[in-house]
Amino acid sequence: MQTVLFAGCEPEVAAGVDGRILAVGKGARAAAGRRAEVVRLRGRAWPGLIDAHIHLEGLADRHLTLDLTGTKSLNETLARISSWAKPLPKDAWVVGTGWYNDAWPDPAFPTSTQLDKAVGGRPAYLRRKDGHSAWVSTAALKLAGVGERRGILRETAMDPVHALVPKPSDAALDDAMERALTDLATFGLTGVHSMDSARGFGSWQRLRNRGKLPLRITYNLPLSDLPHAERIGVRSGWGDEWIRIWGVKAFLDGSLGSRTAEMLDGSGTQVLSQPDLVDLVERCVRAELNVCLHAIGDGAVRRALDALAPHREAWSSWRPRIEHAQCVNAKDMKRFARHGVIASMQPIHAVADRELADQLWPRVSGHSYAWKALERAGARLAFGSDAPVEIADPLAGLEAATVWRRKANWHPELALSRAAARRAYTAGAAYAVGMEKDLGTLRAGKLCDMTVIDQGRVVATIVGGRVSFLQTPGEASRRSSPKPRSRP
Ligand SMILES: [Zn+2]
């Protein structure tokens, strides 16, 4: 191990053997010393970009199951399903994700009869892009003993079929997970806040033991695991700067696309009742576990704020978050700051949802994806992608949060400045998991995580003072074939 000098970028940065920053800018060369390893870079060195809301198992699944992302019609979708299913054994499951009927010429939901034909009578479980609905075949419904005829299951109704879907082996999962994490490093991500399950958590630990973890993972466990966390006494921040446990993720409502977002006008679905929500928050406060409350509609957002309001000063690193906050009533904007609640948002959703929001939320679209209004109201923002629901590329998210709104002329007054958007992906995301002393800015003593940008693309990703992705000069125009370097 030796010190490292990241040279040629602006600013230059020196990292110590402990992976922390020794000096930034003018003093970097002297601080690194003459024996330092020199990594030659170009462009601007930003504090490392962090994705504050991502589903790593979902990203790994894309390497394991049928990926229907981008299919443009029902017919194209059925053709892809049919050619995937054909070589499989007669009773094998057809498992996949990514179909999106709102992007089809006829946006009607597909049926089990159509699916039965495409999969040749096999059991099939195909999750919609947003994960809030599944399209299932008659054979799958029969195996699960579920009496739904049309073939679309929503929210918790998906569970009995999902439980039957065969799981990949640990080795297959790890291999797919490693590929997914490598992709994220090429996007310039130095850390993520994951919304996953124990399987993902196990996989990251195995990858780490093999030196194959290219970025930091803060893990938020599902509500169903809260009793286990309480029982073993694990608390927010347990772990280290590579893998740590933070909060409990719970769903208050569904999604815009699945028409299950809970709105103040009474439409949508309550996934978690208010008494259950209040109980959950109290338990988490007692257990010193943070909460990540999925709330998309303005009704769900208000309920989340109501439940969090009494706990303003629960403990020193109590950082409750509302995930998505896609529609927030004007009266609730200031409550985020007042109750110390973080708005964990994914700007890229606005690009995909814009037309649907205009159609389904015509009266409130001016309060939707309203990061600027929340910022003005004093809310702390943490940005992410919600991948694989949307693309994980943080530069696409930065674009969506800033210039896109003006270009698309969609409530352009809600566009953020570039500096504010970048803060939400760096310092804001670090604060949202209590890591603001270690991450979020380039300052001596902090962990040396950087995203280096040249001419609008990521040229290097540095995590803990080590290169996790470096674009080789010849590949400047071929973003799709990066050269990842796994950690030693
Ligand atoms: Zn999500």
Please tell me the distance between residue 195's alpha carbon and the centre of ligand 1 in angstroms. Answer: 7
| pLDDT for the residue 473 | 67
Please tell me the distance between residue 87's alpha carbon and the centre of ligand 1 in angstroms. Answer: 32
Residue 418 near residue 366, CB atoms below 8 Å: no
Structure tokens at 273: 């009742």
How far from the centroid of its chain's Cα atoms is residue 22's Cα? Answer: 31
Per-residue pLDDT of the chain (488 residues; tens, 9 = 90+): 799 999 999 999 999 999 999 999 999 999 999 999 999 999 999 999 999 999 999 999 989 999 999 999 999 999 999 999 999 999 999 999 999 999 999 999 999 999 999 999 999 999 998 888 999 999 999 999 987 778 999 988 999 999 999 988 999 999 999 999 999 999 999 999 999 999 999 999 999 999 999 999 999 999 999 999 999 999 999 999 999 999 999 999 998 888 899 999 999 999 999 999 999 999 999 999 999 999 999 999 999 999 999 999 899 999 999 999 999 999 999 999 999 999 999 999 999 999 999 999 988 988 999 999 999 999 999 999 999 989 999 999 999 999 999 999 999 999 999 999 999 999 999 999 999 999 999 999 999 999 999 999 999 999 999 999 999 765 544 444 444 444 43
**C-alpha–C-alpha distance, residues 343 and 143, integer Å:** 41
Helices (H), 377-472: 394-401, 403-408, 418-425, 427-432
Nearest CA among 183, 146, 180 for reference residue 161: 146
Please tell me the distance between residue 235's alpha carbon and the centre of ligand 1 in angstroms. Answer: 22
Please tell me the distance between residue 345's alpha carbon and the centre of ligand 1 in angstroms. Answer: 10
Please tell me the distance between residue 176's alpha carbon and the centre of ligand 1 in angstroms. Answer: 19
Size (the chain), residues: 488
User: By three-state DSSP, how is residue 342 classified?
Assistant: strand
Helices (H), 92-225: 112-118, 138-144, 159-162, 170-186, 198-209
The residue written with tokens 């992709």 in the block is 183
Q: Which residues pair with 128 in a beta bridge?
A: 99
Q: What per-residue string of b and e applies to 173-203 under the rule 16 or more CB within 10 Å gives b?
A: bbbbbbebbbbbbbbbbbbbbbbbbeebbeb
**C-alpha–C-alpha distance, residues 389 and 374, integer Å:** 23
**C-alpha–C-alpha distance, residues 109 and 104, integer Å:** 10
What is the chain's percent helix, strand, coil content, to nearest 5? 35, 25, 40
Residue 279 near residue 291, CB atoms below 8 Å: no
- Helical (H) or strand (E) element with 232: helix 226-232
Please tell me the distance between residue 101's alpha carbon and the centre of ligand 1 in angstroms. Answer: 19
**C-alpha–C-alpha distance, residues 263 and 256, integer Å:** 10
**C-alpha–C-alpha distance, residues 317 and 181, integer Å:** 28
| pLDDT for the residue 152 | 95
**C-alpha–C-alpha distance, residues 303 and 292, integer Å:** 13
Q: Which residues pair with 343 in a beta bridge?
A: 322, 381
Please tell me the distance between residue 23's alpha carbon and the centre of ligand 1 in angstroms. Answer: 37
Q: How many helices (H) and strands (E) does the chain have?
A: 18, 21
Looking at residue 168, the DSSP 8-state letter turns out to be: P
How far from the centroid of its chain's Cα atoms is residue 146's Cα? Answer: 31
Q: Which residues pair with 95 in a beta bridge?
A: 125
Nearest CA among 169, 183, 177 for reference residue 56: 177
Put simply, whether the predicted model's pTM sits higher than 0.85 gets the answer yes
**C-alpha–C-alpha distance, residues 274 and 234, integer Å:** 25
Residue 111 near residue 153, CB atoms below 8 Å: no
**C-alpha–C-alpha distance, residues 296 and 377, integer Å:** 19
Please tell me the distance between residue 51's alpha carbon and the centre of ligand 1 in angstroms. Answer: 11
- Which residues, by Cβ under 5 Å, contact ligand 1, an ion? 386
Please tell me the distance between residue 54's alpha carbon and the centre of ligand 1 in angstroms. Answer: 6
Please tell me the distance between residue 196's alpha carbon and the centre of ligand 1 in angstroms. Answer: 9
Please tell me the distance between residue 55's alpha carbon and the centre of ligand 1 in angstroms. Answer: 6
Please tell me the distance between residue 372's alpha carbon and the centre of ligand 1 in angstroms. Answer: 21
Residues 6+ apart with CB under 8 A from 166: 93, 95
Residue 129 near residue 153, CB atoms below 8 Å: no
Please tell me the distance between residue 386's alpha carbon and the centre of ligand 1 in angstroms. Answer: 5
Please tell me the distance between residue 354's alpha carbon and the centre of ligand 1 in angstroms. Answer: 18
Please tell me the distance between residue 73's alpha carbon and the centre of ligand 1 in angstroms. Answer: 25
